Amino acid sequence: MTSPIKAEDSGSAAVLDPELAATTENAVVKGEKQPEGRSPGQLMWQRFKRDRTGVVSACVVIFFFVVSAAAPLIAKLYGKNPYTLYAQEPDYPFLLDDFAMPTGSFGGMSGEFWFGVEPKLGRDVFTMLLYGMRTSLYMAVVVTTLCVITGVVIGMVMGYFGGRVDYWLGRVTDFFLAFPQQLFFIAFMPVVVAMFVDPQDETPTFLRAVAITLVMWFLGWMGLARLVRSSVLSLAEREFVEAAKVSGASPWRIVRKEILPNIVTPILVQATYILPGTILSIAFLSYIGVGFVEPTPDWGRMFAIGADVYEQDPMFMFFPGVALVVFVLSFNLLGDSVRDAFDPKTGR
Amino acid sequence: MLQFLIRRLIGAVVIMFLIGAFTFFLFYTVPQDFAALSCGKNCSPENLAVIRENLGLDKPITTQFWEFMTGIVAGRDFATGHCAAPCLGQSFSTGEFVWDSILDRFPLTLSLTVGGLVIFLIVGLGAGLLAAWKRGTVADRAVSGASIVLSSFQIYFLGPIVLGIVVYQTGWLDNPKYHPFTENPLTWAAGMLIPWVVMATIFTAQYTRMSRSTMIEQLQEEHVRTARAKGMKQSYVFFRYAWRGSLIPIVTILGIDLSALLSGAVVTEFTFDLAGIGRLAVDSSLTKDLPVTMGVMLFGAFFILLLNILVDLVYAYIDPRVRLS
């Protein structure tokens, strides 16, 4: 019972004081609470749970994801869709006035149209926003995943192999960092689209999505690769990696079992910054008219419509705008909280 | 210092060349038929042949690349006339030389970028310093809270709100409009004021947070503590010791943010309906006027590299370690 391993298990005090160790063991025998070892992940989770801002923003972020995933269901229950021009439907004769602006106050908000009606075309703002968020979030998740995987792989290769591989991959990373990002997106959208579609034809929506994903992926991985590289470099010097090497573990095993678990958290933190950034970039592209086009519902394009009619109908932009601000804000706060939970030393 | 500058310049030229090559080959090889792409819908075979000849698309790709590159350095001749030294080609749709259209639009984008930069650096660093100085007080919490909320706003959302209040509702200011600086600096500033403020707001928030946290870090450094222990004046310690150190990470981030700054200028152009190079890039991209798109893209890369060198110089000035290495 009093093996050294057992003593170590019951807390550091026990190692220093054999008597105390004995009492602790008695306590265990009596069935009282046993001091348990916690993994770094558990510690992090506990710290995170105590951070009220973090929990609230996590809930908001989850809410956004659930609402977007359930958009078709919600739209069905609500009984509208983002494509129908309700102003032309016989059921809603007085939706838009003579100037094609919503008749009701606050952009035509009513029990029928919760977030109002789109000026000119008379579409339902609520479902437009739902589906727009859905498009953006799906795309952002895909792009972020691709960027994270690419960044991790390249960063690992750079950090682990070092030497010439590191040097040249580092130069490639620098090279891609020198591109003016948004101008690159604008410039390469038609080129990438032309890879798939004949210029004479209309571009299908999913090909636009593929093109946007590709250009964003192309310039999205460098920051993460650098981060992973430096983490791997510092880890590779540590004793446990040395030990694994000496005991004859293959590089693949070392990377997978020794290094990767130790850099998951910084990657996670970085990903929480990449995702909202990607959403904003997609919104930016659609806003300036290079990304998604009519009639695909898109978050960014709602701002373009809103800017068009802002003087007459400022309410149109209200809900998309507030939703975007709340989403980005909670994602930023969440990222900060995850970082704090991971490393409590970085005080704010 | 000079050696450092020369090394940086050579590096910039190499990167510029690589970006040019990369962009060129992607633009001229990926779309199967470049001429058809520029010709657009309902293209007749005669038009196609003319375009192909004008572009020199019948020549091999390496020759085309060579012509493009020598054009940038030495100028080149087109069917419509001579295109002077930094020649980036000729627009498909208007026949204008790309360099001329960029020069035409660039002053606006430059005004936006520089004006916004000056405002957000002054306000952002100032607010961050204030928050670090009064750490833990109401002022600190107000500044930190406001900055985290404002950094989540977007130019295309904030812009219309500001326009609505300042222009449409109260009529305090006119709609933003670009007047050349050389004409009248006052009207120039008045016309750009709203875009500057809106653009700076987004960036200010980030820099406030950053300057606050680096300043707090610096204040805990040993040399700062020693200075305090020696009985130096608080303000002297604050500005001469801590601030200088806290500038180093901020300048680093600024160097990374330059490309974001340029894209901020692009969004701002769209939000306030100003015709800068962002508008040029998007218009050409939508009409598939690829020489213009490519020119703007290269120009943007060049502009950012140039600003990066400037930032590096500032960096070397602040941090002696950079100069010596």
ipTM: 0.81
What one-character-per-residue DSSP string does A231-278 give?
HHHHHHTSHHHHHHHHTT--HHHIIIIIIHHHHHHHHHHHHHHHHHHH
DSSP A35: P
Q: Cβ B213–A348 below 8 Å, yes or no?
A: yes
pLDDT at res. A326: 92
Q: Is B75 on the interface with A (CB under 8 A)?
A: no
* pLDDT for residue A148: 93
Tell me how far apart the alpha carbons of residues B204 and B250 are, in angstroms, rounded to a whole number.
12
Chain A with chain B: Cβ pairs closer than 8 A = 143
Burial of residue B173 (CB within 10 Å: 0-12, 13-18, 19+) is: middle
- Give domain limits for chain B: 34-87, 99-323
Q: Are B287 and B93 in contact (CB under 8 A)?
A: yes
Region of B60 please: left (phi>0), alpha (psi -120 to 50) or beta: beta
Residues of A in Cβ contact (< 8 Å) with B285 = 186-187, 189-190, 290
Q: Identity (one letter) of the amino acid at B61?
A: I
pLDDT of residue B119: 92
Tally of CB atoms within 10 A around A39: 8
C-alpha closest to that of B20 among B70, B75, B79, B94: B70
Confidence class for position A106, pLDDT limits 50, 70, 90: low
pLDDT tens for B39-93 read 666 667 777 777 777 666 667 778 878 888 888 877 777 766 777 777 787 777 7
Contact indicator for A299, A129 with CB cutoff of 8 Å: yes
End-to-end CA distance of chain B: 10
Inter-chain CB proximity B154 and A283 less than 8 Å: yes
Question: Which pLDDT tens digit goes with each residue over A186-220?
Answer: 888 877 877 777 666 677 778 888 888 988 898 88
Average pLDDT, chain A: 79
DSSP label at residue A51: -
Q: Distance of CA A274 to CAs A53, A303, B138, Å?
A: 20, 22, 32
3-state helix/strand/coil string of chain B: CHHHHHHHHHHHHHHHHHHHHHHHHHHHHCCCCHHHHHHCCCCCHHHHHHHHHHHCCCCCHHHHHHHHHHHHHHCEEECCEEECCCCCCECCCCCCEHHHHHHHHHHHHHHHHHHHHHHHHHHHHHHHHHHHHCCCCHHHHHHHHHHHHHCCCCHHHHHHHHHHHHHHHCCCCCCCCCCCCCCCHHHHHHHHHHHHHHHHHHHHHHHHHHHHHHHHHHHCCHHHHHHHHCCCCHHHHHHHHHHHHHHHHHHHHHHHHHHHHHHHHHHHHHHCCCCCHHHHHHHHHHCCCHHHHHHHHHHHHHHHHHHHHHHHHHHHHHCHHHHHC
What is the number of alpha carbons within 13 Å of residue B179 lying toward its C-beta?
14
The class (CATH top level) of B99-323 is: mainly alpha
pLDDT score, position A5: 43
- In angstroms, what separates the C-alpha of A135 from chain B's closest C-alpha? 19
Cβ–Cβ gap B288/A329 under 8 Å: no
- Is pLDDT at A149 greater than 90 in this prediction? yes
pLDDT of res. A14: 40
Residues 175-214 of B with CB under 8 A from A: 213
pLDDT number for residue A150: 94
Query: In this predicted model, what pLDDT tens digit does every residue of A225-259 receive, in sequence order?
Result: 988 998 888 888 888 888 888 888 888 888 888 88
Q: How many CB atoms lie within 10 A of CB B185?
A: 11
A21, pLDDT greater than 50? no
Q: Provide block-wise average pLDDT over 10 residues at a time, chain B (325 residues).
A: 81 86 78 61 71 70 80 75 76 80 89 90 89 85 86 87 82 79 81 88 86 86 86 82 83 81 86 87 82 86 85 79 63
pLDDT of residue A186: 86
What pLDDT is stored for residue A345 in this prediction?
59
B156–A287 CB contact, under 8 Å: yes
Model pLDDT, residue A37:
73
